[in-house]
A and B are shown apart, each in its own frame.
Chain A
Amino acid sequence: MQPMLFAGDFILTCKWPKAWLQIGHVVVVNSDKYGVIVKRITKVCSIKGVMLQGDNALESVSTLAMGWIKPSDIIGKVIFTSPSRNQKLLTKNR
């Protein structure tokens, strides 16, 4: 999820009503296939759920491979992030 999130960052999530989910929101989901993951919403469908994508497209698993995510699998929306030392060091050296 670089450049928004780096390994070791802390994030705070909040339960978010299904109807309020929007494209661009970063959410934490519990995927059967991939476990607990953090991704950005790219599509919202009232029936199928949401489609996700990582910000770091070259590293992240593809949207097609993840498929539609049910709203019930969404743990929460990311509402706060606390950058780790990794992020501070990496962004400083750019």
Chain B
Amino acid sequence: MLNSLLTTLHRRTPLTTASAHCDIPCKIYDPISAQLAALSVIRFVDLLNELSEKENLSFADHAQFSRLISEKETHAEKVKHEVRVIWGDYFKAPQFEKYPDTNELVHNIMLTGSACKQHVSRDKAEALLTLVNEFAESFWATKGVETKTATCPYPPAEQVVYPKL
């Protein structure tokens, strides 16, 4: 009865609406975007290293060099963004209780992602992929999904953690 009256009132004079979920609860989270971005960072570092081996760089090489640096930084930032979204929106108390090292791992990903932006270093790019793989393993474990490690079938042909679906 009261609810019907309030509903009628709300139709005529809309009341302020408060959300409880805070975000669109789409529940679509997958660390593969972060893993692909980390693989891209390695690939761009490899291509930059190939360019550095040339004695003379042509105009086209210089243009390619700029593009590779820009994309390397964009993808390192993408890794950080994708991981932050899963950490901030998906991980909640039950997941943190199960994987108490998650905060430290995510912080390491942020630092390594920044290091990949600052340097042209394959070691740092590989370290980023390793950390993101570790994050992916924890993520799938929270969902009770087993994982496997396989070499991705495209350059840079690195080891990637995939869910066994």
Contact = CB atoms under 8 A, between A and B. Distances in A.
A32 to B, nearest CB: 12
B89 interface: yes
Contacts of B15: 10
Given A59-B25, A84-B3, A37 B20 contact: yes
Query: By DSSP majority rule, is chain B's interface helix, strand, loop, or mixed?
Result: loop
A79 interface: no
Interface of B: 2-3, 6, 10, 15-23, 25, 88-89, 91-94
Interface string A41-65: 0000000000000101111111111
Contact of B20 (A60, A65, A66): A60
Closest 9 A-B residue pairs measured CB to CB?
A34-B22, A1-B20, A61-B22, A65-B88, A38-B18, A10-B6, A36-B18, A28-B18, A62-B92
A64 to B, nearest CB: 7
Contacts of A28: 18
Interface residues of A, number: 29
Nearest to A85: B3
Contact of A36 (B3, B19, B23): B19
Contact of A54 (B3, B17, B21): B21
